[in-house]
């Protein structure tokens, strides 16, 4: 199992996947995206992966499995077979089973379009606007059994403008995600952090 070999799980457009692949190609992020898994047959992320020459690109249909645990077990087998050290969620819209999380404890990374613990869930940008937040942003965190509740690795703030729509704010948050995600993956793969009482502690460089 290679320390820089990662699996990416995606359900949508694959913009964060693309940002990671491009950063790797530029030599800015020392990852090898060995495997991309999607639960959606028409997810553009699959084409992003194929166009980039990712070795293993899989669509796994959740409807072909009796329950979430069985589907996640199939994903886990593919990840282990590909020899991936890290699992990167990039717009993956399924809640992972407890068995999957336990199997890859502290090796699953997610990015969320808000400053957690504020505005967890699937509608973080909409919720921030509805609440009247003046600052929101991006959080990269490890995944545990609490949705959007794992140890925070890094955050990046994005001001909310008075004329923002959900689309305009989302666009600026996406830009921040594309910058932050490859940077944090680089630091993680280089082994520059530890988890102490659910806090991510970064080593000085």
Active site residue 141: no
In 3-state terms, what secondary structure has residue 89? Answer: strand
Catalytic choice (112, 170, 174, 178) = 112
Q: Please work out, in degrees rounded to the nearest 5, the angle formed at the alpha carbon of residue 145 by the alpha carbons of 142 and 146.
A: 85
Q: Give the per-residue SS3 of 18-66.
A: HHHHHHHHCCCCCCEEEEEEECCCCCHHHHHHHHCCCCEEEECCHHHCC
Task: List all residues 6 or more positions away from 81 whose beta carbon is below 8 Å from its beta carbon.
Answer: none
Active-site positions? 112
């Amino acid at each position: 199992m290679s320390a820089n070999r990662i699996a990416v799980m995606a359900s949508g457009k694959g913009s964060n996947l693309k940002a990671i692949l491009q950063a790797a190609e530029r030599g800015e992020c020392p990852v090898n995206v060995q495997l991309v898994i999607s639960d959606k047959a028409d997810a553009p992320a699959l084409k992003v992966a194929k166009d980039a020459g990712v070795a293993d690109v899989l669509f796994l249909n959740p409807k072909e499995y009796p329950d979430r645990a069985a589907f996640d077990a199939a994903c886990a087998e593919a990840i282990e077979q590909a020899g991936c050290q890290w699992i990167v969620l990039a717009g993956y819209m399924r809640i992972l089973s407890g068995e999957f999380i336990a199997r890859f404890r502290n090796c699953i990374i997610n990015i969320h379009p808000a400053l957690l613990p504020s505005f967890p869930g699937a509608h973080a940008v909409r919720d921030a606007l509805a609440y009247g937040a003046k600052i929101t942003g991006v959080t990269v965190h490890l995944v545990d059994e609490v949705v959007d509740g794992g140890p925070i690795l890094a955050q990046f703030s994005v001001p909310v403008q008075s004329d923002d729509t959900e689309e305009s704010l989302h666009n600026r948050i996406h830009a921040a995600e594309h910058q932050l995600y490859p940077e944090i993956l680089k630091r993680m793969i280089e082994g520059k952090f530890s988890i102490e009482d659910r806090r991510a502690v970064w080593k000085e460089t």
